[in-house]
Amino acid sequence: MSAGPSTKEAVVRRRRVLFLGGFDPKGASWYHALYARHAVRQSAVNGLAITGGARRREAGGRQCWDVEGRAADGSACHTTIEVVGWDGIVRAHWPRTAAGLLRESFAAYAGMLRHVPGALLKVARIAPRTLFAFAYPLLFFVGGSLLVFTLAALLGGAIALAATQWAGLAVAVLSWLAGMQVLLRLERRLDTSLLARSFAFVGRYAVKGIPALDAVLDDAAARIRELQQDPDCDELLVVGYSVGSILATRAVGRALECAEPPSPGAPALALLTLGNCIPLLGLYPHALAYREELARIAASERLVWVDVSSPTDWGSFPLLDPLAVCGVTPTQRGRGYPQPTSPRFHTLFDSESYRGMIRNKHTMHTLYLMSTEKPGRYDWFAISAGSQPLALRYAVPKGMRG
């Protein structure tokens, strides 16, 4: 039997945030430092005075920090942000050499072409920009490698004609090595490999499974069930950023499978996905259990799910219904059905600043967690530290749902 909206959804005095970050070896310390730095800047924009505490370790190795947001009218909200650590798993699957990176990149694309060719055609039809973003690392590596090889061969050939074949061969090899070094340095500057690394990891997880990651998700699901029993908490906000959007939805889906209906005094449950990569896993035919978890969330009346993604973020599936893309049909369209929405980054910054940021793909993918120059509905710091619950900030007009 489903439970209706919690009475605690009107105002939030105490909140717990369960945060799952992206596929990056940076851990809780990096996210804490980013939050602390940008919260101060955002206070000048939204008028919410945010005081952040030091990062600490709790039982079970959990890493948390406290935040207090105080509005101009004196009302305050106390938030505890808890990072679900999986950066150790990321580091175990993170290529450390250029050769390893190239191998992982080509394996990722070969796996996608082998297992999800029909899905790629579907993405090409509904989101060609997203497909191009996915292909961008491959085009960069293949195109760049061919260009370096061609230039080295031409230079070596010219030297062979002017001197000897051995001299030409030596110049060609040295030119190729130098050109590849330049290509790899350019890659590090453009950060093209992050997408390829993510593809390779998610593909491996979909096809072969990663038991250590499933253990993390089971623990996160148990943590959600535990925190939902806290009568002193008003809102339990589960946040998944980038590849963490896959992990957050898996954890919530598993928590809903086992959880008893919450008591009337339980905190309101909300799911926020930022720059979602959900179809990266959901499109694989092997991901049957994941699609069942997505359907369970979408049919639930126990939570709201807001999906924020920007068309300028090439590392996500922006403004698409992730369930429709993955071919998920829930038994009913509950409160948990995803609400895709744009952060409208272009309205949150001066035009000059925004033009500078939009050229940096890494910045655009991280912008969900950063301060802005102008106020707007999307405000990561007001969402996580303010007194307005996610369900009200992104309330669906009556009669629009379903």
Residue with structure tokens 């069930």? 225
- Between β-strands 63-70 and 303-308, what pairing exists: parallel, antiparallel or unpaired? unpaired
pLDDT per position as a tens digit, 42-101? 999 999 999 999 999 988 788 999 999 999 888 899 999 999 999 999 999 887 776 777
Give the C-alpha distances (Å, rounded to integers) separating 1 from 67, 270, 303: 35, 19, 14
What is the DSSP secondary-structure string of 190-254?
HTTHHHHHHHHHHHHHHHT--HHHHHHHHHHHHHHHHHTT-TT-SEEEEEEETTHHHHHHHHHHH
For 117, the enclosing helix (H) or strand (E) is helix 117-126
- Least confident among 30-44, 147-161, 168-182, 386-400: 386-400
Partner residues linked to 240 by β-bridges: 20, 273
pLDDT of residue 254: 96
Side chain identity at 196, as an amino acid letter? A
CA dihedral over 222, 225, 230, 234, signed as positive or negative: positive
Neighbouring C-alpha atoms within 13 Å toward the C-beta of 37:
8
pTM over 0.85: yes
The answer on pLDDT for 228 being more than 60 is yes
Residue 268 and residue 301 in contact, taking contact as beta carbons nearer than 8 Å:
no
Residue 281 and residue 287 in contact, taking contact as beta carbons nearer than 8 Å:
yes
What is the DSSP secondary-structure string of 238-272?
EEEETTHHHHHHHHHHHHHHHPPPPPTTSPEEEEE
Structure tokens at 23: 């596929």
Does residue 308 or residue 127 have the better pLDDT? 308
CA neighbor of 290 nearest in space, from 252, 320, 258, 321: 252
Structure tokens at 7: 């009475």
**3-class secondary structure, 63:** strand
pLDDT per position as a tens digit, 100-145? 777 777 777 777 777 777 766 766 676 666 666 667 777 777 788 8
Q: How far apart are CA 42 and CA 380, in angstroms?
A: 9
Mean pLDDT, rounded, for 362-375: 94
pLDDT per position as a tens digit, 158-176? 988 888 889 889 999 999 8
Residue 273 and residue 383 in contact, taking contact as beta carbons nearer than 8 Å:
no
The answer on pLDDT for 188 being more than 80 is no
Mean pLDDT across the chain, nearest whole number?
A: 88
What is the pLDDT confidence band of residue 389, given thresholds at 50, 70 and 90? very high
pLDDT of residue 402: 44
* Chain centre distance of CA 25: 14
pLDDT of residue 144: 83
Q: How far apart are CA 30 and CA 151, in angstroms?
A: 41
Q: How far apart are CA 388 and CA 20, in angstroms?
A: 21
Q: How far apart are CA 228 and CA 261, in angstroms?
A: 10
What is the pLDDT confidence band of residue 191, given thresholds at 50, 70 and 90? low
What is the pLDDT confidence band of residue 4, given thresholds at 50, 70 and 90? very low
Partner residues linked to 14 by β-bridges: 78
The answer on pLDDT for 314 being more than 90 is no
